[in-house]
């Protein structure tokens, strides 16, 4: 019997990749990297190499369940969990953990976002296998920490309690959400911090106890209705649970408070693909450091731009430097690369002016 399970979180709306990523088809369901497989499919492909399909669960918004079924048809339908509304990662993980716990109380679970880039897959899978073996015999919650190569302000950081080179797994000391630049520089210089990948590994019993201790209101909502799971009433019950549950992340709700959180130091080549700039760094570039995606794009005297033009459109770009230019069938985005963190705020303003149809 295989006691190892995977939970893939695939419910986000990918607003930072607007206008290519829309609420009707978010980035996890798109071939963002250009290799012929969507981000969700790539995530499934990786984990399917080390565990059977019946042990892989995908949690998504209920409006995307059909998309998930189409993109990963080998996953049993009952393993695709539809959330009626977005409540961040803690309720998502709690839902999946209750489902898996009913099936297998000895389960070891890896939880992963659907939309991350993994460069060295072989090393990544070895880290996952090592982590699953570790938690099977330890009452700990393990997270994968990424060795940072720059003072990034778009990632969370985990401080290690100690940093001995020979130790692969170390107890976590503190968690810090997306720091400002000077603090990020300090983290890098200290050598005691790793990026928080948002990939977790634990036993179902260990995360169950943590959820019960640190998020008792959420836990009771699920636990009081456990008899309805795997019955025709499950959807109705989940709707009620999510209506009552507050939105909270697993990091803030559990990981930052628990004392049995450990970090595995990894370096498999990772990006959460959370920004257009992360895609710019990923893709090939021309002699002027431009990334150009599109069939009919003429670029002149322009440098270090990320350009993505709908294949049915002709575009001419002249005298641009360090810009993001995205033109789809429905929308156009032009933004300085250094200012792309403002896209979300501007998108909200555009929704107020022009209606929800643009999302």
Q: Are strands 193-203 and 141-146 parallel, antiparallel or unpaired?
A: antiparallel
What is the CATH architecture of 4-271? Alpha-Beta Complex (3.90)
Per-residue confidence of the chain (359 residues) as pLDDT tens digits?
589 999 999 999 888 889 999 889 999 999 988 889 999 999 999 999 999 999 999 999 999 999 999 999 999 999 999 999 999 999 999 999 999 999 999 999 999 999 999 999 999 999 999 999 999 999 999 999 999 988 988 889 999 998 666 678 999 999 998 899 999 999 999 999 999 999 999 999 999 999 999 999 999 999 999 999 999 999 999 999 999 999 999 999 999 999 999 999 999 999 888 888 888 988 899 999 999 999 999 999 999 999 999 989 999 999 999 999 999 998 999 999 999 888 888 988 998 998 866 66
Consecutive H or E run containing 100: helix 89-103
- Tabulate helix, strand, coil % of the chain (nearest 5): 40, 25, 35
pLDDT of residue 359: 67
pTM of the full structure = 0.93
Residue pair 228/237 in contact by the 8 Å Cβ criterion: yes
The Cβ-side half-sphere exposure at 243, using a 13 Å CA radius, reads: 6
Q: How far apart are CA 180 and CA 339, in angstroms?
A: 15
For the chain, strand residue ranges (E) read: 4-9, 56-61, 80-83, 108-113, 117-118, 141-146, 157-160, 169-176, 193-203, 261-266, 270-271, 291-293, 296-300, 306-309, 314-318, 323-327, 332-336
Q: Comparing C-alpha atoms, which of 71, 72, 36 is closest to residue 56? A: 72
232: its two tokens: 């025709």
pLDDT of residue 275: 84
Q: Comparing C-alpha atoms, which of 230, 251, 228, 249 is closest to residue 240? A: 228
The residues spanned by each domain of the chain are 4-271, 276-358
Q: Examine residue 54 and say whether the peptide bond preceding it is cis (omega within 30 degrees of 0).
A: no
pLDDT of residue 351: 87
Q: Comparing C-alpha atoms, which of 176, 181, 177 is closest to residue 160? A: 176
């Amino acid at each position: 019997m295989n006691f190892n399970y995977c939970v893939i979180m695939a419910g986000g709306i990918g607003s930072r990749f607007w206008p290519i990523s829309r609420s009707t088809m978010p980035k996890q369901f798109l071939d963002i990297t250009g290799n012929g497989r969507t981000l969700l499919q790539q995530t499934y492909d990786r984990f399917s190499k080390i565990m059977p399909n019946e042990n892989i669960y995908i949690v998504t918004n209920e409006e995307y369940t059909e998309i998930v079924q189409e993109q990963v048809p080998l996953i049993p339908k009952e393993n695709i969990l539809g959330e009626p509304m977005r409540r961040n990662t803690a309720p998502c993980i709690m839902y999946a953990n209750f489902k898996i716990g009913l099936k297998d109380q000895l389960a070891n679970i890896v939880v992963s976002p659907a939309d991350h880039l993994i460069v060295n897959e072989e090393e990544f899978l070895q880290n996952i296998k090592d982590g699953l073996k570790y938690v099977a015999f330890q009452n700990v919650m393990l997270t994968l920490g990424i060795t940072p190569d720059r003072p990034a302000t778009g990632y969370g950081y985990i401080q290690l309690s100690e940093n001995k080179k020979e130790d692969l797994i170390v107890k976590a000391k503190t968690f810090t959400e997306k720091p400002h630049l000077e603090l990020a520089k300090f983290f890098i210089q200290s050598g005691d911090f790793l990026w928080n990948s948002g990939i977790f590994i634990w036993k179902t019993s260990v995360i169950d106890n943590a959820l019960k201790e640190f998020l008792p209101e959420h836990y009771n909502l699920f636990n009081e209705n456990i008899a309805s799971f795997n019955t025709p009433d499950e959807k109705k019950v989940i709707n009620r649970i999510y209506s009552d549950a507050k939105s909270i992340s697993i990091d803030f709700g559990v990981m930052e408070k628990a004392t049995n959180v450990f970090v595995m130091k990894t370096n498999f080549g990772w990006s959460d693909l959370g920004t257009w700039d992360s895609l710019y760094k990923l893709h090939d570039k021309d002699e002027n450091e431009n990334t150009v995606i599109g069939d009919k794009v003429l670029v002149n005297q322009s440098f270090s731009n990320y350009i993505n033009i709908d294949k049915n459109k002709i575009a001419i770009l002249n005298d641009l430097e360090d810009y993001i230019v995205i033109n789809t069938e429905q929308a156009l985005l032009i933004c300085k690369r250094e200012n792309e963190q403002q896209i979300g705020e501007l998108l909200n303003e555009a929704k107020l002016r022009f209606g929800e149809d643009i999302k």
